[in-house]
Structure 1
Amino acid sequence: MKLYPLRFNPVYSYRIWGGDKLKTVLNKNYQEESIGESWEVSDIKDNETKVAEGSLEGQTLKQLIKKFKGDFVGNSVYKSFGNNFPLLIKFIDAKTPLSIQVHPSNKLAKQRHNSFGKNEMWYVLQAQENAELIVGFSKKIEKESYQAHLKDSTLTEILNIEKVDKGDTFYIPTGRVHAIGAGVLLAEIQQTSNITYRIYDYDRVDAKTGEKRELHTELAMDAIDYNAYKDYRTVYSISDNVSIKLVHSPYFNTNIISISETMDMDYSKIDSFVIYMCVEGKLEVDYNNTSYNLQMGETLVIPAVINQLKLVGTKAKLLEIYL
């Protein structure tokens, strides 16, 4: 049995803040209301995605890694992570704001939850007029001052709020307080972790439970980076038919490719799987005399053993993700 470019069936998640853009804009197929997240590639327990088509249909990431090892994920990746897939790939639709939150570092997450930390990044696919994201603090803050603002529900006065538009990109390292604002549709790339500390949730009541969601104010206190930084937004300029660096970190590398003609892709120097997220238009991924169609909102995993393929399109944008 051979590996081929793999499409997975997404896992859809209800969220108090979810809208309907995953269905109306990204053509996702589900019936439920308030779906906020489409988990495209997931190895999270009880939320594992499965191969959608071909001879490996129904296989989870863990099953694929156990069967194909380094041929699937890359030898160095397999050596580092064993049978665990290192990334969680999502599309997120925020009809109303997400909670203000923070993720713990690898060290803290390991100590408290026996989990990876959650370094992540966002790429904005669509944003309504005046849509915003919260990323970090607007000035360096002392822990006592932070606690006072939290108590007074004036946290937003000390947070860095960014107006956003299509194509905007942000890296969110662990410890950085953040929140997606209303009217933002984005792609999220992150470490495989489901650990989030909610700091403030606007005193909302979840219609499904009739209760407010749990906050993790004490756990968050030691996880937060209270420093302020000059630039939170990733600066890049795009060129057609070239892989342009967006975010390169110790946890993942993400580039953007704007495709206007056929591109020959060579991954022989990368000892890793590659994930394609189509964020605009549509294209074909050609491998071994087979074409895999990919349109905005769809994701494809290229096993590490596949070194040569073609991207065929005239007007498409693709996130290219690997370790």
Structure 2
Amino acid sequence: MKKYIYKLSPFFKETIWGWEKWALSCHENGYSFIENGEDNGKKIIDVIEDKNKFPILIKVIKADSVLSVQVHPDDAYSQKHENSSGKTECWYILEAKENASLILGIKKGLNKEELYKIVKKGDIENYLQEINVSKGDFIYIPSGTIHSIKGGIKLVEVQQNSDITYRLYDWGRGRKEHLKKALDVIDYEGKNKGGKIEKFKFIETPYFKIKKINVKEKYKDVSKNGFHSYIVVQGSGIIKCAENVVELNYEDTIYIPRETAYVIKGKMTLLKIAT
């Protein structure tokens, strides 16, 4: 395996509520591409290890208006019904308007039958829970958690490598909803705790790890046990290994193969993603 730092060009997707960039994606619904070196123009999946089992997907999402109220299945349900992995995800807030908020969960005490009646009655908006967010906040959203991004927010999403979303409610916009499957997978009891984490520096889920790295001058590391990926959330600089040097600016995303020693220089904040 070549010890090379790959700079990525995202798959861009416009939506009715804004847009999203799939910054590191080996998913068939939207590949990211290499934009440096002799592999320039290739899909990132063409050079990675374990290309048939790549575990994560990294996105940048910009919401100009509210997304659907949605939920994602866990691995067991998704493998049975969708032939896919489930979808646990984490959000890091890049930008947020004043008093910005997210939908995260439903009011306590509801069960499947009660929520079905509420949705059919058109009263779901009165049972959604919201949290206020601001730049730098981190939110963990395990599978089974009802959620939605409201307008005026830009964020990084790190998730399992899945594109399975069940819409519970779409604000009357006429898109297909998935009521039965959504009701099947909701975590009504809140077993998988999600929510806002203040001033985080590290989080570990069963599927990926994220660490916030503040570089003032120099940061050294080695991808010993598997790939590393970084996305720049503030500032600029460079990253280099024995094979190459890559310039880094806001929202740039890179992939580093296993067993690669590297150094980051500059003044910037990055999210380091690994498994």
Report the TM-score, using the length of structure 2 for normalisation.
0.94
Task: Report the number of matched residues.
Answer: 274
> What is the aligned partner in structure 2 of residue 87 from structure 1?
56
> SS in structure 2 opposite 1:122?
strand
Residue 2 of structure 1 aligns with an amino acid whose one-letter code is K
Question: Partner residue of 1:13?
Answer: 13
Q: Give the 5 Å matches for 1:63-142.
A: 63-65=46-48, 69=49, 78=50, 83-142=52-111
Structure holding more strand per residue: 2
Is the partner of 1:166 in helix, strand or coil? coil
Map Cα deviations across residues 58-103 of structure 1 (whole Å, 9 max, x no partner).
Answer: 32233214xxx4xxxxxxxx4xxx6232111100000000000000
Q: Deviations over 1:10-40 (max 9, x none)?
A: 111010000xxxxxxxxxxxxxxxxx10011
Q: Could you say which residue in structure 2 is the equivalent of 1:232?
A: 195
Q: How big is the shift at 1:51?
A: 1.1
Secondary structure of 1:16 counterpart: coil
Q: Percent identity?
A: 35
Q: CA separation in 2, counterparts of 1:145 and 1:12?
A: 38
1:228 positional shift: 4.0
Q: Provide, for residues 207-255 of structure 1, a one-character-per-residue CA deviation record: whole Å limited to 9, x for no partner.
A: xxxxx21000111111111124776112335xxxxxx31x211100001
Amino acid at match of 2:259: V
**What SS does the aligned partner of 2:185 have?**
coil
Corresponding residue number in structure 2 for 1:257:
213
Task: Summarize deviations over 1:242-294 as a string: whole Å, max 9, x none.
Answer: xx31x2111000010122121222333xx110110101111211222743111
Partner in structure 2 of residue 213 of structure 1: 175
Residues 144, 185 of structure 2: 8 Å contact kept: yes
How far 1:146 moved relative to its partner? 1.4
CA distance, structure 2, for counterparts of residue 145 and residue 213 of structure 1: 23
CA distance in structure 2 between the partners assigned to 1:8 and 1:231 by the alignment: 30
Answering whether residue 142 of structure 2 is matched by residue 173 of structure 1, we say: yes
Q: TM-score, normalised by structure 1?
A: 0.80
The alpha-carbon distance between structure 1 residues 43 and 146, as it changes in their structure 2 partners (threshold 3 A), is same
Letter of the aligned partner of 1:273 in structure 2?
F
Q: Which range moved further: 108-117 or 137-146?
A: 137-146
| Letter aligned with residue 166 of structure 2 | Y
- Which of 221, 229, 252 does residue 298 from structure 1 map onto? 252
- Aligned mates of 2:29, 2:237 — CA distance in 1: 32
- Which of residues 220, 223, 248 is equivalent to 2:185? 223
Q: How does 1:14-29 map to 2 (within 5 A)?
A: 14-18=14-18
Bigger CA drift: 38-47 or 195-204? 38-47
Match for 1:275 among 215, 226, 229? 229
Where does 1:147-162 land on structure 2 (aligned, <5 Å)?
A: 147-162=116-131
Please state whether the residue corresponding to 1:190 is helix, strand or coil: strand
1:61 aligns with 44
Structure 2: where are the runs of 5+ without partners? none
Cα distance in 1 between the residues matched to 2:229 and 2:76: 27
RMSD across aligned C-alpha pairs, in angstroms?
Answer: 1.8
Q: Is the 8 A contact 2:4 2:243 kept in 1?
A: no
Q: Which runs of 5+ in 1 are unaligned?
A: 19-35, 70-77, 205-211, 238-243
